[in-house]
Amino acid sequence: MNKPLIDWYDINKKNMPWRNSKDPYRIWISEVMLQQTQVNTVIPYYNNWIKIFPTVKSVALAQIDDILKLWEGLGYYRRAHNIKKSCDIMINRLNGAIPNDETFKGLPGVGDYIYAAVMSIAFNQKIPVIDGNVKRVGSRLWETNFSAPQSLKVLNEKLLHHISLDRPGCFNQAIMDLGREVCKPQNPICEKCPISKFCKAFKNNTILNYPVKKKLKKTPLFDVVVGYIQNQQQKFIITKRPKEKMLGGLWELPGGKRESGESLKNSLIREIKEELSIDIKVDKKIGVIQHSYSHMKIRLHGYNCRIKSGKIKLNASDKLEWINFSDINKYSFPTASHKLFKEMEKN
């Protein structure tokens, strides 16, 4: 099975910048960026990253704020934090290089998939990768639903039996490409599949039965309200989210989630009191934008505000700064904040 698959890959593989290198650092960065993110989105971020941070050492020497700014808009910011932590460990404990053994798997954010990808592509080790695309291809090839942890061990064994001895990295990339480009969730292009003759689901006309579809949970929607709190010099407050929280290390307008039964304005007054220990006067509404995350959706409501009384004290943030609107691009903000800033520019 591996020969026709790799032959297909050699002819049809996409020209991606990380595929021109065997440098384990570059392969690692690409694989981290490709988690939860589409290839076309990743390419410009990857090129920019490699230009600014070409080595493990360059990341270790960088400030996390600069790293987050470069990552801005790519999402899942924990990935950027983990790259920084891993590079620090490699410089301080591992001679400044990615190790070619299971030590690498123990670094922050690496895990089984990235370990297998880097070891097979950069170091030519015979270790199968398993991602969503591979699970789908495998489930159709062997008419088996690979979802439970025990079944993934079975899938790993099957892939290990078929993986190329000479080109394990190319085999892994080929099967992932096949899942993305040919063996798609809907409307798979079986007539273009180089391994259809090995596929049980193709033979038995059960392609659309695999993998077994999970029932999707309804995505919750939350109202979040934030304050554009200005002083007499027309500067406004931004606060930095704690590293351990979602969107950790990014800057934002202070505020938070509306609780059941609260008005938007009362919610904002409460949140600002809890976060900054000040009382505010809520003025005109800036606007509302919608934004989706992997596990929830939000409606982000923004209001112009002024401090009424009290002394600022940070109760829920790592930092606070007063900035001009023209300074926004010097800081890393979540995409939802940028959407709200664009609304402000219109008004």
pLDDT at 347 over 80: no
Do the domains at 2-209 and 221-346 have one common CATH topology? no
pLDDT at 165 over 90: yes
Residues 44-58 have pLDDT tens digits of: 999 999 999 999 999
Q: Among 31, 252, 271, 275, which one carries the catalytic annotation?
A: 31
Helix axes 132-141, 168-181, angle to 10 degrees: 80
For the structural domain made of 221-346, what CATH number should be given? 3.90.79.10
Q: Which token pair is 215?
A: 């029932």
Q: What is the pLDDT of residue 214?
A: 80
**What's the pLDDT band for 223 if we cut at 50, 70, 90?**
very high
Q: Point out which residues pair with 301 in neighbouring strands.
A: 225, 288
- ω before 211 within 30° of 0 (cis)? yes
* CATH label, 2-209, candidates 1.10.630.10, 3.30.70.20, 1.10.340.30, 3.30.1360.170: 1.10.340.30
Strands (E), the chain: 221-230, 236-240, 251-252, 255-257, 279-292, 297-309, 319-323
Residue 59 · residue 9 · CB < 8 Å: no
**What's the pLDDT band for 11 if we cut at 50, 70, 90?**
very high
Percentage, residues of the chain above pLDDT 90: 91
Q: Point out which residues pair with 307 in neighbouring strands.
A: 280
Residues 71-81 have pLDDT tens digits of: 999 999 999 99
Q: What is the pLDDT of residue 241?
A: 96
Q: What is the pLDDT of residue 309?
A: 96
Residues 233-283 have pLDDT tens digits of: 999 999 999 988 999 999 999 999 999 999 999 999 999 999 999 999 999
The counts of H helices and E strands in the chain are 13, 7
Q: What is the pLDDT of residue 215?
A: 80
**What's the pLDDT band for 36 if we cut at 50, 70, 90?**
confident
Residues 172-183 have pLDDT tens digits of: 999 999 999 999
Helix (H) or strand (E) holding 171, with range, is: helix 168-181
Residues 80-128 have pLDDT tens digits of: 999 999 999 999 999 999 999 999 999 999 999 999 999 999 999 999 9
Could you give the 3-state DSSP secondary structure of residue 101?
coil
What is the arithmetic mean of pLDDT over 138-164? 93
d(CA 76, CA 84): 14
d(CA 127, CA 159): 9
What is the arithmetic mean of pLDDT over 215-229? 93
Q: Which token pair is 322?
A: 């007063």
Residue 201 · residue 211 · CB < 8 Å: no
Q: Which token pair is 185?
A: 């969730």
Q: What is the pLDDT of residue 213?
A: 81
Residue 323 · residue 340 · CB < 8 Å: no
Task: Return the closest-CA partner of residue 83 out of 61, 59, 99, 112.
Answer: 59
Q: What is the pLDDT of residue 88?
A: 98
d(CA 135, CA 146): 6
Q: Which token pair is 155?
A: 């899938």
Per-domain residue ranges of the chain: 2-209, 221-346
d(CA 154, CA 275): 50
Residues 290-318 have pLDDT tens digits of: 999 988 999 999 999 999 999 999 999 99
Burial class (CB in 10 A: 0-12, 13-18, 19+), 139: buried
pLDDT at 319 over 80: yes
Residue 31 designated active-site:
yes
pLDDT at 148 over 90: no
**Distance of CA 336 to CAs 18, 152, 268, 291, Å?**
30, 36, 17, 6
Q: What is the pLDDT of residue 20?
A: 85
Q: Which token pair is 194?
A: 């180089």
Task: Return the closest-CA partner of residue 295 out of 340, 231, 247, 228.
Answer: 247
Q: What is the pLDDT of residue 235?
A: 97
Residue 114 · residue 34 · CB < 8 Å: no
Half-sphere exposure of 313 (CA within 13 A, CB side): 9
Percentage, residues of the chain above pLDDT 70: 100
Give this prediction's pTM.
0.91
Terminal Cα distance for the chain, rounded: 61
Task: Return the closest-CA partner of residue 137 out of 191, 193, 203.
Answer: 193
